[in-house]
């Protein structure tokens, strides 16, 4: 294995957190206040608990104030919407995140749409999605933005390259395709109905796998010298975290590749902090 070709998400996320800690200190000096993030956790799904704990710890690292609001999984939609409205009005809260998934009685689209777009640090609100699609400044969804930062910060050139994105979800595949297109890549989007997937992926200079199927991208899907970004988070039969890319088979022919764990995941977390600081800066600037 050639670790020099790995794009190390942990190292890059640390670099970004260092930059954000400095910015938080400057904001605190200028305004006497710190950015504030509210995280709403409904129920006690173990994976969500772990994610939320990680987010709270990340905030502490860079000096963001975080507030964890726990609600029982029996909560009614109206009550959750009222909580969001309360946070929308709270001047000490600059970012609001509702941890997904939500229990069946709650429509996640309604909840996300209730968050003030300028506090929508997940970047999932339809207004932010629309701003991204039309090329306007917005709070970007964290995983796609993290991928873009990984490419830029590791010196991968994007303009003019052929990027192939496998997966077209609203939180990863679609927005990362838009961001890559904004950076002047030529983008192909693949999905579950794509015929002859390998034919498309083999043409990629930059291949992004965002499906959620263990090791589905094999050596035959990858062109020699491609940059491979693995978003997938899957469990192996032994219970280990692993990506959509068969890392051992693909790593020898890729020019750059992201590991799982330690690739896109830490970048996603860093970009949530980035959005919170950005939202706070906008709030303070508006006065």
Question: Least distance to ligand NDP from the beta carbon of 105, Å?
Answer: 21
Q: Which residue has the tokens 């959509």?
A: 244
Backbone angles phi, psi at 144, to 5 degrees: -60, -40
What is the rounded CA–CA span in Å between residue 36 and residue 93?
A: 5
Tell me, residue by residue from 38 to 57, as one string, x for binding to ligand NDP by CB under 6 A and - for no binding: --------------------
38 versus 260: smaller Cβ distance to ligand NDP: 260
How far is CA 149 from its chain centroid?
11
Of residues 58, 118, 120, 122, which has the active-site annotation?
A: 122
* Contact status, residue 173 vs residue 189, Cβ threshold 8 Å: yes
Span from 88-96, 106-114, 154-162, 226-234 in contact with ligand NDP (CB under 6 A)? 226-234
Which residue in this structure is represented by tokens 């910060």?
A: 153
99 annotated active-site: yes
Sole residue written with tokens 């990858």: 222
**Which residues inside 188-207 make contact with ligand NDP, applying CB under 6 A?**
190-194, 197
Size of the chain, expressed as the number of residues it contains:
287
As a whole number of angstroms, the distance between CA 275 and CA 281 comes to 10
Strand partners, 209: 166, 230
> Could you say which of 12, 20, 38, 231 contacts ligand NDP (CB under 6 A)?
231
Annotated binding residues for NADP(+), written as ranges, equal 167-169
Query: Interface residues for ligand NDP in 64-83 (CB under 6 A)?
Result: none
Nearer to ligand NDP, 28 or 47 (CB): 47
Residue of 17, 58, 99, 278 marked active site: 99
- Any contact of residue 286 with ligand NDP (CB under 6 A)? no
* Per-residue contact string for residues 140-169; x = within reach of ligand NDP by CB under 6 A: ---x----------------------xxxx
* Helix, strand, coil share (%) of the chain residues, nearest 5: 45, 15, 40
User: What is the DSSP secondary structure assignment for residue 161, as one 8-state letter?
Assistant: -
Binder of ligand NDP out of 20, 59, 163, 172 (CB under 6 A): 172
Report how far residue 246's alpha carbon sits from residue 250's, in angstroms, rounded to the nearest whole number.
Answer: 6
Name the residue nearer to ligand NDP (CB basis): 171 or 206.
Answer: 171
From residue 12, how far is each of 18, 146, 151, 193, 226 by CA, in Å?
A: 10, 10, 10, 34, 20
Nearer to ligand NDP, 41 or 231 (CB): 231
Where would I find the beta strands (DSSP E) of 79-181? Answer: 95-98, 162-166
Instruction: Return the number of the residue (81 or 216) whose C-beta is nearest ligand NDP.
Output: 216
Site for ligand NDP (CB under 6 A): which residue of 40, 41, 171, 228? 171
- The first and second tokens of residue 191, run together, are 């999905």
- Which range of residues in 13-21, 117-125, 184-192, 276-284 is near ligand NDP by CB under 6 A? 184-192
> In the annotation, is 71 catalytic?
no
- 176: helix, coil or strand? helix
Cβ atoms of 132 and 179 within 8 Å: the answer is yes
Token couple for 12: 């890059």
Which of 16, 59, 140, 211 touches ligand NDP by CB under 6 A? Answer: 211
* Distance in Å, CB of 72 to ligand NDP, minimum: 25
Q: Hey, which residues are catalytic here?
A: 55, 99, 122
Q: Which residues bind ligand NDP (CB under 6 A)?
A: 143, 166-169, 171-173, 190-194, 197, 210-213, 231-234, 264-265, 268
């Amino acid at each position: 294995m050639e670790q020099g070709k790995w794009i190390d998400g942990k190292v890059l996320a640390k670099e970004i957190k260092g930059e954000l800690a400095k910015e938080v200190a400057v904001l605190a000096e200028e305004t006497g206040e710190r950015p504030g993030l509210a995280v709403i956790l409904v129920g006690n799904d173990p994976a969500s608990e772990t994610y939320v704990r990680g987010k709270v710890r990340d905030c502490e690292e860079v000096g963001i104030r975080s507030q964890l609001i726990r609600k029982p999984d029996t909560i009614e939609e109206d009550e959750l919407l009222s909580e969001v409205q309360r946070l929308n009005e709270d001047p000490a809260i600059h970012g609001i995140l509702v941890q997904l998934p939500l229990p069946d009685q709650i429509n996640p689209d309604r909840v996300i749409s209730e968050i003030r777009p300028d506090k929508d640090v997940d970047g999932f609100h339809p207004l932010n999605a629309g701003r991204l699609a039309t090329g306007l400044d917005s709070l970007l969804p964290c995983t796609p933005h993290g991928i873009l930062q990984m490419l830029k910060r590791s010196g991968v050139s994007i303009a003019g390259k052929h990027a192939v994105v496998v997966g077209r979800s609203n939180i990863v595949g679609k927005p990362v395709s838009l961001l890559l297109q904004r950076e002047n890549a030529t983008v192909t989007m693949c999905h579950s109905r794509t015929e002859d997937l390998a034919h498309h992926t083999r043409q990629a200079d930059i291949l992004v796998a965002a499906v959620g199927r263990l090791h589905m991208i094999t050596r035959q899907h990858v062109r020699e010298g491609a940059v491979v970004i693995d978003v997938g988070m899957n469990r192996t039969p032994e219970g280990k975290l692993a990506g959509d890319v068969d890392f051992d088979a693909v790593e020898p022919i890729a020019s750059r590749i992201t590991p799982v764990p330690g690739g896109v995941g830490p970048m996603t977390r860093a970009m949530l902090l980035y959005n919170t600081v950005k939202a706070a800066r906008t709030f303070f600037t508006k006065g």
